[in-house]
Amino acid sequence: MSDTDSPDVTGDELAGSLRAIADAPPLVQALTNEVTMNDVANLILHWDALPVMADSPGDAGEMAQGADAVLFNTGQIPETKVEAMREAAQTAADRDLPVVLDPVGVGSTPTRKSVAQTLLDEVSFTVIKGNYGEISALAGVEADVKGVESVGDYDEIEETARSLADSTGSIVVASGVEDIVADADSAYRLTAGHEMLGEVVGTGCMLGSTLAVFNGALEDAHAAALHGTLAFGIAGERAAEMEYQGPASYRTNFHDAVAGFDEAIETASLDLGDRVERLV
C-alpha cells in the first residue's frame, strides 16, 4: 500500500464487524468513572455487547476471568480503583485479553500523569484512546489540557500518535474534529462525526467503550480501532439527522443511533472511501 492509499475499509467490512459482535456478544468489563458510567454501560449494550462495571479490588480481577475485553478509564482515580485496575490487568495479561486505556484528563494534574504513567509501565495496552491533548501529554509532547478538555493546536498529532504507538506497542486513537488511528508504522485520518458530540459530557468515554467492544469481538486490533472509531462517528452523524432540541435530546438520539446501527448498515451500502485517508 502506498502512502497515499486509503485502507480497504468498506461498508461490508464494517457490517461484518458488527455481525461478529452480535453473533458472539463480548463481555466488556469497564473500570470507569462514575460521572459517565451509565452512558458507558448503555452504549456497550447498544453495540450488542454485554457490560459489567466490576471496579473494586477482588471483584475486578475475578470478573476479568470471564471478560472478553477490559476498559480502564481514569476520569476518577481513587486508590481502590487503581488497585482494581492492577488486578484486572494481571488477569487480562494471563488470559491475553485486549485492554483499552482512556487516560481522561492526563496532563491536567501531576497525579493523573503519575497514575497514567504507572499504568503504562505495568500494563500492555491493546489500544490507547484520548483526545489530542491527552495523547500528546502521554507522548511527552507539549499539551494544553484543562480539566478533561483538550485545548490549543496540535498540528503534528499524527506524528505524536505514531510516536506513542511506537513506544507502547499499542494502537493509538487520537480523537478530535478528525480522528487519528495510528500504530508504529502507519497513521490514518478518519472523517466522521458531528459537532454535537462535543456538547455532551461523556462522548469520549463512550468512544473508549466502543473500542473495547470492537476489540472484544475482533481478532485484528487495528481493524477494531478503525471500525469502532468510524462506527462511532457515523452514529453521531445519524443522531443529528433525527429531530433534537439540544444536547439532552441529541444524547438520546445518539444512543438510539448506536442501537439501530446494525440494521441500518445492513440495509445501506456505506461509501467509506472519502472518510479514511492513510497519512503514513
- Over residues 69-114, the pLDDT tens digits come to 999 999 988 999 999 999 999 999 999 999 999 999 898 888 988 9
How far apart (Å, rounded) are the C-alpha atoms in residues 144 and 87? 32
Which percentage of the chain shows pLDDT scores above 90? 75
Which pLDDT score is estimated for 196? 97
The model's confidence at residue 149, banded by pLDDT at 50, 70 and 90, is very low
Bridge partners (DSSP) of residue 30 are 71
Does the annotation place 175 within a ligand binding site?
yes
Could you give the C-alpha distances from 140 to 134, 144, 182, in angstroms and in order?
10, 12, 17
Domain ranges of the chain: 11-278
Rounded to 5 degrees, what are φ and ψ at 279?
Answer: -95, -30
Per the CATH hierarchy, to which homologous superfamily does domain 11-278 belong? Ribokinase (3.40.1190.20)
Does the annotation place 53 within a ligand binding site?
yes
Rounded to 5 degrees, what are φ and ψ at 28?
Answer: -105, 115
- At 231-280, the pLDDT tens digits run 999 999 999 999 999 999 999 999 999 999 877 766 556 788 889 999 98
pLDDT averaged over the chain? 90
Cell of 17: 464487524
Which pLDDT score is estimated for 3? 42
Bridge partners (DSSP) of residue 191 are none
